[in-house]
Amino acid sequence: MEILYHGNAARGLAWQEAVTRALPEVRFTCWPDAANPAEIRHIVAWTLPDEVLAALPNLEILFSVGAGIDQLDTARLPAHLRIVRMIEPGIIGTMADYVAMGALALHRDLPFHVAEQRAGRSSWRDVAPAQQCRVGVMGLGELGRASLAKLAPLGFRLSGWSRSQYAIEGVDCFAGETGLAPFLAGCDILVCLLPLTAETRHILNRDTFAMLPRGARLVNAARGGHLVQDDLLAALDSGQLTSAMLDVTDPEPLPAGHPFYSHPAILMTPHVAGITRTDSAVVSLIDNLGRLLRGEPLIGEVDRSRGY
């Protein structure tokens, strides 16, 4: 079996060595070095540029190097192409760390204190215990569940919302359209970890913010397309939201002069919440390639009708 890699050259060489060592029956090549592109049926990539897709007429499986697939224009991909997203400890662990950091930072009013520091002031605000703060996570897949597990020892009261019903110890779980309003009403800090689909695009909007308690806070570590930017600014300026921490924007990066850069109630990071680690991600890839060789189900295979 041959698999082609398209992407960061250093990562490709590292993965080539690891895959070859673990699975000598797999020929791992890096774009554009495939001897016969027409025979390539499996590819590892972040995106598939037109010239790559055109050169590989017999592709059967795309292994994404990311946890999501919204970077792919699935409408232009062959209908038969199977897509497998990356599920690996590096992404999951770093995302859970980021969510815990975001929840603590907003709970302890870090945006306010940073803004005061930059203004040359030293101002005091009261501090409430974590047990009085309710943190709700939208999206209860691997990332959401790991983030809730990371938050649990910190003392926050936890809830979660997703398309399908879950049962998680110590977490009040809500599901579906009917569960959204009661979920939001109990969130002092709202964390978005949803996949980006047609149904979830712009879900962080004025209607959603209006259902949160006044003065709530927002962490968006999912995708920039979830957020209506003008609605966030209006909610912050009206006091409906107190602050926000954003790891993702649309576009990335934002253009110079965008109001998010200077807004005193917004903290931003440059899409670093969940990181695909070269060393741990290749272990997950090797596991899936082994499953493919043995004819077993693949971990992370996407239901293209649902978008995740």
Q: What confidence tens digit (pLDDT) does each residue in 223-241 have?
A: 999 999 999 999 999 999 9
Q: Identify which of 59, 63, 64 has the alpha carbon closest to the alpha carbon of residue 78.
A: 59
Q: At what angle do helices 110-118 and 89-107 cross, to 10 degrees?
A: 70
Catalytic site residue from 271, 277, 291, 304 = 271
Q: Which two tokens stand for residue 181?
A: 């309003």
The residue behind tokens 């041959």 is: 2
Helix (H, G, I), strand (E, B) or coil at 35: coil
Task: Give the single-character DSSP code of 130.
Answer: G
Residues of the chain with pLDDT under 70: none
CA distances from 286 to 69, 143, 294, 307 (A): 20, 21, 12, 24
What number of CA atoms fall less than 13 Å from residue 138's CA on the CB side? 29
Q: At what angle do helices 278-294 and 9-22 cross, to 10 degrees?
A: 50
Q: Which two tokens stand for residue 232?
A: 């966030």
With 0-12 / 13-18 / 19 or more C-beta atoms within 10 angstroms meaning exposed / middle / buried, residue 14 is middle
Q: What angle do CA 28, 34, 38 make, to 5 degrees?
A: 115
- Please list the residues that pair with 6 across neighbouring strands: 45
Catalytic site residue from 134, 223, 226, 263 = 223
- Mark whether 223 is an active-site residue: yes
Q: How far is residue 207's CA from residue 102's CA, in Å, rounded to a whole number?
A: 23
Task: Give the single-character DSSP code of 270.
Answer: S
- Mark whether 206 is an active-site residue: no
Q: How far is residue 9's CA from residue 215's CA, in Å, rounded to a whole number?
A: 46
Helix (H, G, I), strand (E, B) or coil at 227: strand
- Length of the chain equals 308
What's the confidence (pLDDT) of residue 67?
86
What number of CA atoms fall less than 13 Å from residue 182's CA on the CB side? 8
Domains of the chain: 2-88+276-294 (3.40.50.720), 90-268 (3.40.50.720)
Alpha helices per DSSP H over the chain:
9-22, 50-55, 89-107, 110-118, 142-151, 176-185, 206-211, 229-238, 259-262, 278-294
Q: Identify which of 293, 239, 294 has the alpha carbon closest to the alpha carbon of residue 42.
A: 293
What's the confidence (pLDDT) of residue 136?
98
What's the confidence (pLDDT) of residue 277?
86
What's the confidence (pLDDT) of residue 239?
98
